[in-house]
Amino acid sequence: MSDTSSDQGQVADAVKGNWVDTLAPAATRPYLRLSRADRPIGTWLLLLPCWWGLALAVASVGFSPVAIWIAIGCGIGAFLMRGAGCTWNDLADRDIDAAVARTRSRPIPSGQVSPRAALIWMGAQAMVSLAILLTFHPLAIALGVLSLLPVAVYPFAKRFTWWPQVFLGLAFNWGALLAWAAQTGSLSLAPVLLYLGGIAWTLFYDTIYAYQDVEDDALIGVKSTARRFGDMPRPWMRGFLAATVILISAAVLVALDPVPALVGLVGVWAMGWHLAWQMTRLDIADPQRCLHLFRANRTTGMIPLPFFLLAAAL
């Protein structure tokens, strides 16, 4: 059998040798690719703000056994809702994806999955996610339902604004609010600041991601922060970096007593250092470098977690 992506149905920007392409039953592969299971970075970027919110909530109000289930439920829910969201995105963007070199190998434009089958698959993922959500606190359930609004709007944002990354940030960081509410049964300033910091982080990493497609996007008229910033992204990205660190630091200071807060701040500042490292490596003319740096944000988002957990133990 040929190793080309066209022969095997592999998606162009998937990690080579990923488990979907090598281990999953052949009949499931198009649907798993549609859910981006072969590209897990998006699941991590959706999950990590959930775990930030949960860890800070535990550090703020104390541990309860339900936190273990919230952590697990957020993990499963992030995988499923990222899959449902990507399916919705690909349904909305199927004509655009067919015109972009990096995305024309995706399951819908390549003909591996029909739009009707994709719609059914999206619904199945959403229903299982709903079953998990219904085990959480009523406020978290309400927030989970409300999160569908930015998810629904995001695929269309690139058609009417230069800032579609804002809509992605609104959707991808909602878990910071939801997980805090699931643990505490309430909302306060701390999770809101954490949510806003996550949005700034999304603007940083998804601008890097968007530079992969900037030429194709210009040809077909799709908007992005990468096109908006052109050859001068660094001043903007330094602003996003600063906003990320300042807002998440403020969330830590509001949520925690002084000594645990100092521990949490070390984690946030280390996260900022990792973002600064990405800036030194960024080459907007090199799509592979952009993809590598985008994927590095899993590490970025993991950095504060052990510090938040240590703060919870103090």
In a domain, 52, yes or no: yes
Q: Which of 67, 7, 74, 10 is nearest to 43 (CA)?
A: 74
Q: What does the pLDDT read at residue 4? A: 38
Report, as an integer, the average pLDDT of 208-229.
91
Q: With b meaning 16 or more CB within 10 Å and e meaning fewer, what string describes 166-199? A: bbbbbbbbbbbbbbbbbbbeebeebbbbbbbbbb
The answer to whether residue 4 is domain-embedded is no
* pLDDT tens-digit map of 157-208: 999 999 999 999 999 999 999 999 999 999 999 999 999 999 999 999 999 9
In this structure, what token pair is assigned to residue 255? 């949520």
Instruction: Decide if 9 is inside a domain.
Output: no
Q: Is residue 21 situated within a structural domain?
A: no
Give domain status of residue 276, yes or no: yes
Report the predicted TM-score, pTM, of the whole model to 2 decimal places: 0.92
Q: 22-31: which pairs have CB atoms within 8 A and are 24 or more residues apart?
A: 30/107, 30/112, 30/113, 31/107, 31/113, 31/117, 31/121
Q: Is 270 helix (H, G, I), strand (E, B) or coil?
A: helix
Choose among 228, 205, 206, 224: nearest CA to 275.
Answer: 205
pLDDT tens-place string over residues 79-131: 999 999 999 989 988 888 887 777 888 899 988 999 999 999 999 999 999 99
Domain that holds residue 198: 26-313
φ, ψ dihedrals at 276, nearest 5°: -65, -35
Q: Is 1 within a domain? A: no
User: In whole angstroms, what is the distance from residue 66 CA to residue 183 CA?
Assistant: 7
Q: How far apart are CA 12 and CA 182, in angstroms?
A: 38
Q: Could you tell me the CATH number of the domain that includes residue 77?
A: 1.10.357.140
The verdict on residue 81 lying in a domain is yes
> Considering Cα of 273, then 276, then 281, then 284, what sign does the dihedral take?
positive
Residue 70 lies in a domain: yes
Q: What is the DSSP letter of 28?
A: G
The answer to whether residue 7 scores a pLDDT higher than 70 is no
pLDDT of amino acid 101:
75
Q: How many structural domains is the chain composed of?
A: 1
